Amino acid sequence: MKTIVNSAQMKAVDDYTVEKVGIPAIVLMERAALSVIDEMKKHGVTKEKILAVCGIGNNGADGVAAARILYLQSYTVAILLVGDEDKASPLLKQQLLIARNLGISIYNNIAITEYTIIIDAIFGIGLSRNISGIYKEIIEEINAGSHTVYSVDIPSGLSADTAKPMDIAIKADYTITFGLNKIGLILYPGCEYAGNVIVEEIGFPEIAVNQVNSPYFSYDTNDLNKLPKRLNYSNKGTFGKVLVIAGSVNISGACYFSAKAAYRAGSGLVKVMTAEENRIIIQSQLPEALLYTYKSDNWDDCTEEQILKEIEWAKVIVIGPGIGMSNTSGRLLDLVLEHAKVPVILDADGINLLSEKVNSMHNDNSRIENIVSILPKQTILTPHLKELSVLLDMPLDTIINNLLGIADICTCKNDLITVLKDARTIVANKKERYINISGNNGMSTGGSGDVLTGIIAAFIAQGLEAKEAAKLGVYTHGLAGDKARELKGSYCLIASDIIDALAQVLNNND
């Protein structure tokens, strides 16, 4: 698990380290500068002309320190200082003094095009307003050139909090960020400005990181250890029963993908509940699945009784993929919402049907309170942003522009587990904000979301808590997508490839 921070949290880590722990800021700065240089050397920087473009805060001071170390190692390096030196931070003044004592060239104006490598140290996490004037001109000039750009801590101009440029931002090839990853380097569009992000440990102690208690984090492959171990003494019941209520007339793929992914991710038994018309398809494509089919046009008390039995049978229920918006689907959803006592993963048309139900509610509660009031405990909602916009009755743009704020609205005051599906999916539950960094654009393909529901369900069936299954499911789904892309490429990748690649991700856990 990797903690992620915004600028205020990073500043709090900085302050605690310097003021409470007593590590001098200039020591951290020296390590920061050395880590930038290490990274440059890894990428073969040798005889090129290097320009450190430095602002007047401590980010600029990092840049001056890096230039000085390079100079002492006989690199050809100069410093371009942008901004009013009289207003320089104390650490920058100190770094400039050292650089001047050594005879390093410090300019206020220079032809940037003469340099092939740029160290971007104009602004770091202290950026506080939109960029304009000389700063804007220089960023434009750097972006228009063909230099290799190493950004110090964060590309100058990018907000560490929102991942948006504050009018303009440097487009870096590499960003060397210190101590902890920043929200601005992970979410879009920030991650596209940052290029390759390298998180460098420069000596912030754990106690300083822990005291900020950031809700943001991501997973790496070590977190796959959280998956329940497979018991040797077991039978198919040991690994849980997944009920997939999905598909409708002419839509069979959704239940197939969800159910197959649930099996491949380790469930003991998977039952598909779908329209009678899908019987033969499921029986022939996925003979491992148990099957209950209903006749959409002949729904009677017996049907309802049987459906209640199936709901009772399940340890976890997926409902929604491909069920359509018919009355039958609405009745299925009602039965699940009223009777399920196990975690429910509500996806796709299940969410659209929920939106309709909420639209018809008339009371003084807030919309999110109305939504939560009709969901069983431990519901996992897995909307993509358009579905979320309908569910919350909020413009899509508002959601796209403030994903973390929307996550707060969905979950701060309730138990809901919301999986906000996007290029960087966020799993929100109470104050936890898991930001997923696995996956790729090849996964934007039909059936991919159905596969996700199956994986999450399988993890719950095997004993994971719903909120853990949601995070680990999203991460695993992305990892499988990444493996699938290695084989098929992002153009050719289809949902079945993600299911097939699960073996490569999960078998390391055996």
Q: Is 423 annotated as a binding residue?
A: yes
Q: Which stretch binds ligand NPW (CB under 6 A): 25-33, 267-275, 304-312, 475-483?
A: 25-33
29 binds ligand NPW (CB under 6 A): yes
In the Cβ-directed half-sphere of 94, how many Cα atoms lie within 13 Å?
A: 10
Q: Is 446 annotated as a binding residue?
A: no
Q: Is 227 annotated as a binding residue?
A: no
Cβ closest to ligand NPW, residue 104 vs residue 202: 202
User: Which residue of the chain is nearest K ion when measured via CB?
Assistant: 156
123 binds ligand NPW (CB under 6 A): yes
Alpha helices (H) in 265-402, listed in sequence order:
279-285, 301-313, 327-339, 349-359, 367-373, 385-392, 396-401
Q: Is 261 annotated as a binding residue?
A: no
Pairing between β-strand 290-294 and β-strand 269-275 as defined by DSSP bridges: parallel
440 binds ligand NPW (CB under 6 A): no
**Closest of 30, 46, 118, 36 to residue 82, by C-alpha:** 118
In the numeric block, the tokens 């309802």 are attached to: 304
Measured over the CA atoms of residue 220, residue 226, residue 230 and residue 235, the dihedral's sign is negative
In the Cβ-directed half-sphere of 60, how many Cα atoms lie within 13 Å?
A: 28
In the Cβ-directed half-sphere of 369, how many Cα atoms lie within 13 Å?
A: 5
484 vs 331, 348, 436, 498, CA distance in Å?
37, 23, 17, 6
126 binds, among ligand NPW, K ion, none (CB under 5 to 8 A by kind): ligand NPW
Strand segments (E) across 226-286 = 241-245, 269-275
Cβ closest to ligand NPW, residue 86 vs residue 114: 86
In the Cβ-directed half-sphere of 166, how many Cα atoms lie within 13 Å?
A: 22
d(C-alpha 280, C-alpha 18), whole Å: 68
Cβ closest to K ion, residue 185 vs residue 406: 185
In this structure, are residues 494 and 447 in contact, taking their beta carbons and an 8 Å threshold?
yes
Q: Which stretch binds ligand NPW (CB under 6 A): 26-34, 36-44, 213-221, 449-457?
A: 26-34
293: three-class secondary structure by DSSP: strand
User: Phi and psi for 128 in degrees, rounded to 5?
Assistant: -130, -5
Q: By CB under 6 A, what part of segment 174-213 binds ligand NPW?
A: 178
138 binds K ion (CB under 5 A): no
> Exactly one of 6, 156, 379, 418 binds K ion (CB under 5 A); which one?
156
Q: Is 43 annotated as a binding residue?
A: no
Using alpha carbons only, what angle is made at residue 325 by residues 322 and 331, rounded to the nearest 5 degrees? 100
Residue 22 is given by DSSP the state -
Query: DSSP of 97-127, one letter per residue?
Result: HHHHHTT--EESS--GGG-SEEEEES-STT-
In this structure, are residues 108 and 119 in contact, taking their beta carbons and an 8 Å threshold?
no
Q: By CB under 6 A, what part of segment 135-154 binds ligand NPW?
A: 135, 152-153
In the numeric block, the tokens 């302050």 are attached to: 15
Q: Which stretch binds ligand NPW (CB under 6 A): 117-125, 236-244, 304-312, 478-486?
A: 117-125
Site string for K ion, 108-137 (x = CB under 5 A): ------------x-----------------
Q: At what angle do helices 90-101 and 58-72 cross, to 10 degrees?
A: 20
5 binds ligand NPW (CB under 6 A): no
Q: Which stretch binds ligand NPW (CB under 6 A): 52-60, 291-299, 386-394, 452-460?
A: 52-60
Residue 382 is given by DSSP the state -
Cβ closest to ligand NPW, residue 187 vs residue 202: 202
Distance of closest approach, residue 379 Cβ to ligand NPW, in angstroms: 40
Distance of closest approach, residue 440 Cβ to ligand NPW, in angstroms: 29
93 vs 26, 50, 235, 260, CA distance in Å?
12, 21, 69, 63
Distance of closest approach, residue 437 Cβ to ligand NPW, in angstroms: 21
Q: Kindly report whether the peptide bond that precedes residue 165 is cis, defined as omega within 30 degrees of 0.
A: no
Distance of closest approach, residue 44 Cβ to K ion, in angstroms: 22
Cβ closest to ligand NPW, residue 211 vs residue 234: 211
Q: Is 127 annotated as a binding residue?
A: yes
Distance of closest approach, residue 139 Cβ to K ion, in angstroms: 10
Cβ closest to K ion, residue 153 vs residue 310: 153
Q: By CB under 5 A, what part of segment 386-415 binds K ion?
A: none
d(C-alpha 377, C-alpha 343), whole Å: 7
Site string for ligand NPW, 73-112 (x = CB under 6 A): ----------------x-----------------------
> Exactly one of 127, 282, 354, 466 binds ligand NPW (CB under 6 A); which one?
127
- List the binding residues: 58-62, 120, 124-130, 135, 153, 156, 254, 322, 384, 421-425, 449-450
Q: List residues near ligand NPW by CB under 6 A.
A: 14, 18, 25, 28-29, 32, 55-60, 62, 89, 123-131, 135, 152-153, 178
- List the binding residues for AMP: 421-425, 449
- List the binding residues for K(+): 59, 120, 156
Q: List residues near K ion by CB under 5 A.
A: 120, 151-152, 156
